Amino acid sequence: QDLLPQHNLPLHYLLLPQTTAFNVTVTDGAGTELSFSPVTVSRTAPAIIPLSSGAGSPKGPNTKFLVDDSQLATVQTDEGLILTANKAFFTSIRISESAQAGFLTSKGTAGFGKEFRTGHIWNTTGAAGRKAHVFSFMATEDATTVTISDFGAVDFENISESGDITVSLDAGDSYVMAAFVDKPSTDNLNNVNGTRISSNKNIVVNSGSWLGGSPGGTDEGRDIGLDQIAPIEQTGFEYILVKGQGIASENVIVVAHTDGTDIFLNGASSPANASPLNAGEFHRFTASDYSANENMYITSNQPVYVYQGLNGANSTNERQLGMNYMPPIICLGGTNVDIPNINQLGNPVIQIIAEAGEQVTITDGSGTTDVTSSARAVTGNSNYVTYKLAGYTGNVTVESPRPIRVSLTIESGNIGGAGFFSGFTTSPVIETPSGYDATSCIPDNLPVTLTATGFDSYQWYRDGIILTGETNASVSVDKPGVYTAAGTIAGCVSSEQSFPLSVTLCPGDLGVAKDVVSVTNVSGDLFDVVFDLIVTNYSPSNPAPNMQLIDDITDGLPSGATASIQSAPTVVNGSFTTGGISSSYNGTSDIALLTTSLSGADTELAAASTVTVRFKVRVDMSAATSPAYAGQAVVTTAISGPNDGITTTFDNQDFSDSGSNPDPNGNGDPTEAGENDITEVCLSNTTISYSASTYYSTGSDPTPIINGVSGGTFSAPKGLVINSTSGEIDVSASIVDDYIVTYSFGGLCPSTTSISIALNPPAEPTVINQITNNTTPTLTGTAVVNVGESLEVLLNGQTYVLGDGNLSISGTTWTLIVPVANAIGTDGIYDVTATHINGVGTRTDDTTNGELEIDTDAPEIVISGQPSIINNNSSYTVNLNFDEDITGLQITDIVVTNASLSNLTSINASTYTIVVLPAGTGNITIDFPAGGVKDLANNNNLAASQVLTIYDDTAPATPTVNALTTSDNTPVVSGTAEIGSTVTVIINGVTFTTTADASGNWSVDTETATPTAGGPFTPLTDGDYDVAVTSTDAAGNSSSDATSNEVSIDTTAPTAPIVNLLTTNDVTPVITGTNGLGTSQLAGETLTVTVNGATYTVTPDASGNWSVDTETATPTSGTLGTFNDGTSYEVVATVTDAASNSTSDATSNEVSIDTTAPATPTVNTLTTSDNTPVLSGTAEIGSTVVVVINGVTFTTTADASGDWSVDTETATPTAG
């Protein structure tokens, strides 16, 4: 309720153009008058009553149309609003909040009914946010039982939905149900539409949605749409809708109430629904289904409910939504519509449906505007036009000479709403004089003037009996009873009778009953009718003084008939205290039966006593236009006499009840409603009948046969469209249902017959399908063959005729026995054509084909699905596949070894499954012998081929993993396993699957193989890795490897070796170097030396030194070439570790061969005083020069100019 800070209840006239103010009483469901009641209202001064106190306030004390969640699905005794007045008026509820708004239009007594179907705003998602579909109902009588059904899997709040929901209510009790769309059930989203609400007594129903809708953008539904709806009898076959301002949120829900309903759009000849709707199903139209003139024309083959969602704008994601229950298009209804303060909640758009060619005007505070030129044609119905107009404010009146329908759509920012304000009152509304209400009684208010509104002319009824001559808008009532009026508008059918108004007598002790003792046909058209008037004084202590008994024997006499007293009144039981029967009574000119002081003595009846007066009336019916003779006596008392029974002021008054008991309910008050029924005598028997009991919507219109007096009128419950004069039934316009058709004379002497309306006639004849191996089969079907009609059956080129000895019929079942001479020799499917021939030769064939199949082939079976090998006694399922449908399969038909069978299951008539439980040892075989089952043609099956499952529970040999040290971080791992077994390899959390080959080897290249789990494979970092290997054989037995950390990844290169430079004249040089470590070679590392085409493997010493004597060493690969003078040779020294990482020396061309002697060196002559002289000379450029002087050796090198020198003072000797 906190979402509804302002709720307004406008009251105004709908049909009555009256400016005189009157009061409207407003109570809650418990009958408690609300604080603002009564409300004074007139056409010029509509009342607007705030029901809540203001923005943000909780539910106010007068907000009787809202309940809290906790009150859902709970009987409410004081909720709801009941508005009553003695004049016609219109009421609606306007709901306004900063972001939501809505209208609810009361349907008045037109909303009373017993059968309803709900409708709601279309939702696109089940997002939360208080989005709910709701409906509610209120009882109008005690002991009302309401049943909610046809809601599918909808999950309603606070109640169990297991089956139909039944609610018991008394008058004024109400009940609210809601289905939140964010519940798990997807039916809550939109399948509340079409929910059926039925009751044993009249109820009123509201239906709608709370914060629902389907706008564009991100807001899935954000407004209120609700309305009071009418019962199914107020729905119809034809609707016109005027579009609102929206696009995405403009949805129309059409709900079927009858199976087989089709919906047609804008005059189309084909249904809009893909298949006929069943009762409770619905079809949705969207904004795109409106015509270019922004209207929509909907028709149906059966009455439907139509709920229109309208949007006030196409802005703010179309959140300005409202919903209307739509009235059908009929020519009855009001010609003027008043809407107060139309712009109260926002910017209004007026939508009008009017008859084509009729003037339409709109009046507001600015004056009257003729809008006829704005009419838009309706696609599919040229009799009507629509209008869609904006720019009006304040109190608005829409008028036309002929009936119109008017609705209003508003928007203001996020606020939107829609209300339909006319088209619901299609029968007169009875008004009573000011000051008269249901508690008043006669004779206090004699006479009471009743007035009907809304039609051109009227016919009044009392207790369902026509009041001859009462055809004006007003009738003066001086007798108790239930009064109704039917109305007529020029050029249109008569309306149904109005909602009844009961006029009652004032309570009293004195009562009278009029009983028919006997009816005698004297001769021809002369009848003697004996009546008893039973008068009872129910007061236990007070006499009934100055009593008078009135009976006019011509009152209620059929037109053309005459009546006279045949036997004067006499007292046949009991006695009067004083006075008695008047001798002057003749029933015509003198209608007072009892004496008064003017004729003798005033008549008095003692307390607690009864008198019966009997008299005989002769009726001449020779010129009568009706067989019905109806009359009513009146008994009165007066405080003082004489009492003439007509003009005297009465103390007590009672109109006779039919029968012998003035007070049937025995409570001592004979004046109550239902105890003053007219006594009728039917002086001839009249019956009616139709030629059939069932008629079809697609058939011709039947007319009844009248056996007896003609000139009566026909009537039926609403839904059966019947001509009141001829009794012809319009089957296409009638609702599918069962009906009682009544033929009566102004409501008297009724005769009835039962009629059913169905949608489509049953197909005739029919053929029952059959499959058999009998080549002379017996065929059956159905047909209705009346006298003068015949039946033929065509089979395999042979025609059989009813009565030929082969084809016969019993009731509606025909039988054909194919004779041996016509045996069917070939298997196959055959058409059996059954043909009905009526009396004029019209032939009607059955509508099916291929009804007979001859099959003499035995069914075959294939057993499949069994595993080829298993390793345990777990159960498995086997399929039994027959090549055709079979019958009679039992589990005992299947033979199994080393296992047991269970759970024989039928997938369909040709496919079965069975569960096999192995015994735990030995191979399993399954056989299906011949003759176990039969096909549908009664042929026995052929034997199946045996299937075998091997039982193997031995684990495979333990798999191995080859140890691997590698620098490849996506290594190829390998090993051995049982031949053909499935090998699962897990390394570093990634699983690969492979198969052991015919040699029992397996391998997985982690770089290229696709992982079966844990992938993708990430290249490994340096370290040791476990390879977990499992070998699984065909039976599912498995074993795992016994090793660990089989893979070592090493990507670090070893220390680079060194090759010593060598220039030599030795053509088989000794090449030397070191491993770069200064120690012996590391474990797992290998040093190779490649020179001049030969590769040698060497082992460094403890200091890391190595050498290769090319003269004596044997290459490990390659062939040593010849070393040539003047050539340099590359020596590649390479260290390779266990992971195949390798490093080579960093130098090149380390060996030079030089076998040519250098040029002769020279020594420069030197004479010096330096006793440590500097010696010099020349030599081959770059050559090593060895100088020996005085036994000391020095070594130097000739420079680039070929010069050399040695300073003996500073140079370091190399020897000596």
More confident residue, 446 or 684: 684
Q: Is the peptide bond between 443 and the residue preceding it cis, with omega within 30 degrees of 0?
A: yes
Name the 3-class secondary structure at 378.
Answer: strand
Residue 61 has what pLDDT? 66
Burial 302-329 (b: 16+ CB within 10 A, else e): bbbbbbbbbbbbbebbbbbbbbbbbbbb
Q: 885-896: per-residue pLDDT in tens?
A: 999 999 999 999
pTM over 0.85: no
Mean pLDDT across 576-596: 96
Q: 641-670: per-residue pLDDT in tens?
A: 899 999 888 889 999 999 999 999 999 999
Residue with token string 């982690």: 1006
- Domain 770-854, CATH: 2.60.40
- Is the distance from CB of 453 to CB of 15 less than 8 angstroms? yes
Residue 982 has what pLDDT? 95
d(CA 306, CA 366): 35
Name the 3-class secondary structure at 3.
Answer: coil
Token code pair at residue 520:
């005698």
Q: What CATH class does 510-682 carry? A: mainly beta
Residue 16 has what pLDDT? 43
More confident residue, 220 or 1027: 1027
Specify burial of residue 820 (Cβ count, 10 A radius: 0-12, 13-18, 19+). Answer: exposed
- DSSP 8-state class, residue 190: H
Q: 158-184: per-residue pLDDT in tens?
A: 999 888 999 999 999 999 999 998 887
Specify burial of residue 275 (Cβ count, 10 A radius: 0-12, 13-18, 19+). Answer: exposed
Mean pLDDT across 1059-1080: 92
Residue with token string 């474990």: 1083
Q: What CATH class does 1058-1153 carry? A: mainly beta
Which DSSP string do the residues of 1131-1162 spell out, in sequence order?
EEEEEE-TTS-EEE-S----EEE--SPPPPPE
More confident residue, 1119 or 334: 1119
Residue 9 has what pLDDT? 42
Mean pLDDT across 146-151: 97
Burial 931-964 (b: 16+ CB within 10 A, else e): ebbbbbbebebeebeebebebeeebbeebbbbeb
Residue 5 has what pLDDT? 28
d(CA 981, CA 979): 6
More confident residue, 645 or 95: 645
Token code pair at residue 55:
């923005």
Mean pLDDT across 253-260: 94
Residue 439 has what pLDDT? 64
What are the sequence ranges of the domains in the chain? 1-65+78-87, 96-332, 439-500, 510-682, 687-758, 770-854, 861-951, 960-1049, 1058-1153, 1162-1207
Cβ atoms within 10 A of the Cβ of 562, count?
A: 14
Does the domain at 687-758 match CATH 2.60.40? Answer given as yes
Weakest mean pLDDT among 642-651, 693-702, 960-969: 693-702
pLDDT for 247 beyond 60: yes
Mean pLDDT across 560-575: 97
pLDDT for 1030 beyond 60: yes
Token code pair at residue 773:
């191996």
d(CA 249, CA 122): 8
Name the 3-class secondary structure at 252.
Answer: strand
pLDDT for 930 beyond 60: yes
Give the residues across from 353 on adjacent strands. 386, 405
- Is the distance from CB of 918 to CB of 872 less than 8 angstroms? yes
Number of H helices, E strands in the chain: 1, 100
Q: 228-239: per-residue pLDDT in tens?
A: 999 998 899 999
pLDDT for 2 beyond 70: no
φ, ψ of residue 109 in degrees (nearest 5): -70, -15
Q: Residues 728, 734, 737, 741: is their CA dihedral positive or negative?
A: negative
d(CA 79, CA 199): 19
**Position 501 confidence tier, pLDDT thresholds 50, 70, 90:** confident
Cβ atoms within 10 A of the Cβ of 797, count?
A: 7
Weakest mean pLDDT among 223-237, 487-501, 698-712, 816-830: 487-501
Q: 430-479: per-residue pLDDT in tens?
A: 888 876 766 667 765 567 888 888 788 899 999 989 998 999 999 998 88
d(CA 28, CA 17): 28
φ, ψ of residue 660 in degrees (nearest 5): -110, 5
- Alpha helices per DSSP H over 711-861: none
d(CA 887, CA 552): 82
d(CA 310, CA 344): 18
Q: What CATH class does 861-951 carry? A: mainly beta
pLDDT for 1074 beyond 90: yes
Name the 3-class secondary structure at 204.
Answer: strand
Q: Which CATH number fits domain 960-1049: 2.60.120.260, 3.40.462.40, 3.90.1150.10, 2.60.40.10?
A: 2.60.40.10
Contacts 24+ apart (CB under 8 A), 733-741: 733/237, 734/697, 735/232, 735/233, 735/257, 735/258, 735/302, 735/303, 736/258, 736/259, 736/260, 736/302, 736/697, 740/716, 741/688, 741/690, 741/704, 741/714, 741/715, 741/716
Q: What CATH class does 439-500 carry? A: mainly beta
